[in-house]
Amino acid sequence: MKSMLVTGANGFIGRALCEEEIRQGYSVHALVRSSEKYVVDGCKMTNVANLTRTTDYTEMLVGVNIVIHLAARVHIMNDDASNPSAEFYEANTAITLNLARQAAFSGVKRFVFLSSIKVNGESTSSELRFTPDDDFIPTDPYALSKYKAEQGLLAIAKETGLEVVIIRPPLVYGPGVKANFSSMMKWIYRGVPLPLGAVQNQRSFVALDNLVSFIIHCVEHPKAANEVFLISDNEDVSTTELLQKVAIAFEKRPLLIPIPVRIMRILANLVGKDGVAKRLFSSLQVDSSKARNLLDWKPTITMDEQLIKTADAYINEKTL
């Protein structure tokens, strides 16, 4: 039986991943910041309140074959930290590389790192998709910290023989999703009219079930070693189409007003919401063919199916 150490195990992705790993018969050691928020039957659990670049993982890595590193300081809109770049580097680069070096020293075979599509950039043109081999160095502090972690991991792999797998997902959605996706669901569920009925962009997403499936696939597949993958549902949609699908999942009629995007951009600029406008109106498409062709992986769930599960979980939470 393979033994895994999963960091960030009490997060949105981590909980779903650990539950599926246990279901498939893996031995899972969950590294969490607060044990009070984490209950997955069958997991060994270690509570580490604050990971740093000097955290000692020696005891946690005993007998571990695979490390799946999900813990991170996530991208924050309107970040009020005094030095965001330094804090992102500490959380997403220094801590990652410290764990990887100790994993290599402890005899861990493979290190799976959850990066971000932001390493590729913020948007794509109508004729191009992001690929794993894009030559781009990000300037955003969050994306740059992920990029530096990737480069450091590949260097450690070359130096030590540790097998590294890097996964850059776009926006992940599924039961328990938070932040902007949760807000969007709230608007649709409450029947709030939205001026987003004429958006013709194209964006890639990845269902939580599909991401979990792919991470586990990367644990097992020999050809995943020392590779970078972009992953998606392979069902790109516009913002308007996504809202329509969410409404269908809720069995509601979407109230989408077809206001021209150019007008919406002007209004967003006037109220200082350029970042929100970019996510709503720009395209961001990824080429996930490498994941499908090299590893023979296929999505395990459709977007519509995952949205129904997400909507059901949202309704259940509201009725508790």
DSSP run (H or E) holding 176: none
Residues 16 and 313: their CA atoms lie apart, in Å, by 13
Residues 172 and 185: their CA atoms lie apart, in Å, by 14
Identify the sign of the CA torsion 178, 184, 188, 190: positive
Name residues whose C-beta falls within 8 Å of residue 80's C-beta, 6 or more positions apart in sequence.
none
| 164 neighbors 149 (Cβ within 8 angstroms) | no
Torsion angle (degrees, nearest 10) of CA 191, 197, 203, 204? 40
Question: For this structure, is 314 an active site residue?
Answer: no
| Residue 113: DSSP 8-state | E
Report CA-CA distances (Å) from 128 to 13, 105, 203, 228, 284. Answer: 28, 41, 12, 19, 9
CB atoms within 10 A of CB 176: 16
Residues 242 and 286: their CA atoms lie apart, in Å, by 17
Considering 142, 147, 173, 314, which one is annotated as catalytic? 142
AA letter at 114? L
What is the widest separation between alpha-carbon atoms in the chain?
58
Is 47 strand, coil or helix?
strand
Name residues whose C-beta falls within 8 Å of residue 218's C-beta, 6 or more positions apart in sequence.
112, 165, 167, 224, 229, 295
Torsion angle (degrees, nearest 10) of CA 243, 299, 301, 222? -130
Residues classed as catalytic: 142
